[in-house]
């Protein structure tokens, strides 16, 4: 309505002053002023993380799955952990960002990965006193970052033409919002690579962007929410499974 009223007033004014003549415009002189600002600093990336329960948002010490209630061996496939990672970040470096990966040969892991293949190093490393070979294999993992929190997640794998696509059941297979977890020791791993980037500048014209879907970035204000899942199809008992995850700030 406001736009329409403005148009009516303009027509009326043209009718009233139709006979008025105006002198031709002629430029006498012209001066130009410019405005600019330069930042010489390298910029920074500051992050803080908290691990919180999806159910009640309570702060806890680690990500976990309840084997007794969450996982039925031989039946359960992909399952989200009972917790999420709350990521608070400030990124002013033009090519700064945050990445996530596992580090399964690290001394931080009580029973590190002992396998030779770098293609199976990412994920939850198995260990059993009665089956030492378990540490040479892993249960695959995945991650997702979003600008809103959720209490329910159902991770699905595969769709026609895309057998390795990971998606959330409520969003549909056309939106691969989960990415496979990579390990620091995976073949082809490189710091700063897009596939492990959760949030960074340089992907959109304006601000720091999260990778809300595979190869899809969008601006997001801090804080953000990282959800982690694992595929328990190959899990056995008696055994325990663990990993070390790194959430790492970087600049390029």
* Domain coordinates in residue numbering, the chain: 45-250
Taking a C-beta distance cutoff of 8 angstroms, is the pair 241, 85 a contact?
Answer: no
CB neighbour list of residue 44: distance below 8 Å, 6 or more residues apart: 90, 91, 92, 93, 96, 251
Q: Per-residue confidence at 135, pLDDT binned at 50, 70, 90?
A: very high
Taking a C-beta distance cutoff of 8 angstroms, is the pair 125, 235 a contact?
Answer: no
CB neighbour list of residue 84: distance below 8 Å, 6 or more residues apart: 51, 52, 54, 149, 225, 226, 227, 228
Taking a C-beta distance cutoff of 8 angstroms, is the pair 231, 77 a contact?
Answer: yes
pLDDT, one tens digit per residue, over 150-203 is: 887 899 999 888 999 998 988 888 888 999 999 999 999 999 999 999 999 999
pLDDT, one tens digit per residue, over 42-51 is: 788 999 999 9
pLDDT, one tens digit per residue, over 213-236 is: 999 999 999 999 999 999 999 999
What global pTM score does this model have?
0.83
> Across all residues in the chain, what is the average pLDDT?
87
Distance (Å, whole) CA 225 – CA 219:
14
Distance (Å, whole) CA 239 – CA 92:
44
CB neighbour list of residue 167: distance below 8 Å, 6 or more residues apart: 155, 156, 157, 159, 173, 174, 175, 176, 177, 178
Q: Within 10 A of 21 (CB to CB), how many other CB atoms are there?
A: 4
């Amino acid at each position: 309505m406001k736009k329409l009223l403005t148009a009516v007033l303009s027509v009326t004014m043209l009718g009233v002053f139709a006979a008025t003549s105006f002198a031709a415009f002629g430029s006498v002189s012209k001066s130009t002023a410019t405005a600019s600002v330069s930042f010489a600093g390298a910029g920074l990336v500051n992050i803080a993380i908290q691990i919180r329960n999806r159910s009640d948002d309570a702060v806890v010490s680690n990500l976990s799955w309840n084997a007794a209630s969450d996982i039925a061996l031989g039946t359960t496939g992909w399952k989200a952990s009972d917790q999420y990672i709350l990521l608070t970040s400030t990124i002013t470096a033009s090519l700064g960002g945050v990445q996530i990966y596992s580090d399964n040969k690290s001394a931080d892991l009580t029973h590190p990965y002992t396998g030779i293949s770098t293609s199976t190093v990412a994920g939850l490393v198995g260990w059993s006193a009665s089956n030492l070979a378990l540490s040479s294999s892993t249960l695959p993992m995945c991650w997702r970052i979003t600008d809103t929190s959720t209490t329910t997640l159902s991770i699905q794998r595969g769709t026609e033409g895309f057998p390795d696509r990971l998606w959330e059941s409520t969003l549909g297979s056309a939106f691969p919002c989960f990415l496979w977890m990579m390990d620091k020791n995976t073949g082809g791993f490189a710091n700063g690579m897009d596939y492990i980037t959760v949030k960074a500048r340089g992907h959109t014209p304006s601000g720091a962007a999260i990778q809300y879907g595979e190869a899809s970035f969008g601006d997001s204000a801090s804080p953000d929410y990282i959800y982690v899942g694992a595929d328990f199809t190959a899990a056995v008992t008696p055994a325990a499974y663990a990993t070390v995850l790194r959430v790492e700030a970087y600049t390029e």
